[in-house]
Amino acid sequence: MEFRPIADGDLDDLLALNASFVPHVGPTNRDRLAWRVANACWARTTPERDAFLIALPPGTAYWSPNYAWMEARWRRFAYIDRVAVAGHLHGRGVGRALYEALFADMAASGVERVTCEVNTRPPNPASVAFHHRMGFTRVGVRGDAKGTVAMMARRLP
């Protein structure tokens, strides 16, 4: 599976892909997506821009309360802020390959764990199951008027 760093020219396509997965992926706009890529410790897409993953390092001035929750608990982590895989690629191992590439790169750079959150209200059982298969465990729960998320983490070797 081939992935490459996200470039500015990819943002409009990735923004449309992101929008197709709301509410399971939070809504965003082009400026905020560009900020995430610029501040990421890992931001990759497929050559066709039909899948992507963006992870942020600790110490980032990020406005997300879910990120803040993770940062309050750990010092050496990568926070998966967003991931999307186009429907025509579901079940073909693209999501798994993105995560495995992230895990390998983060482990090589000394990161101790990868973190994320998954919606439980509105429910996203497919994502919960995927993250369990990828070795994530639930480490907490956060909720507000918008919904509830399972806070998840996976330790790296």
Number of domains in the chain: 1
pLDDT confidence bin for 23, thresholds 50/70/90: confident
pLDDT confidence bin for 24, thresholds 50/70/90: confident
| CATH value at residue 8 | 3.40.630.30
The reported pTM is 0.96
Long-range contacts of 22-26 (CB under 8 A, 24+ apart): 23/119, 23/122, 23/147, 24/119, 24/122, 24/124, 24/127, 25/82, 25/83, 25/84, 26/82
For the chain, strand residue ranges (E) read 4-5, 42-45, 51-56, 77-85, 113-121, 137-144, 147-155
Domain that holds residue 12: 4-155
Transcribe 123-138 into DSSP letters.
B-HHHHHHHHHTT-EE
Residues 34-89: tens digit of each pLDDT: 999 999 999 999 999 999 999 999 999 999 999 999 999 999 999 999 999 999 99
- The answer to whether 66 touches 73, Cβ cutoff 8 Å, is no
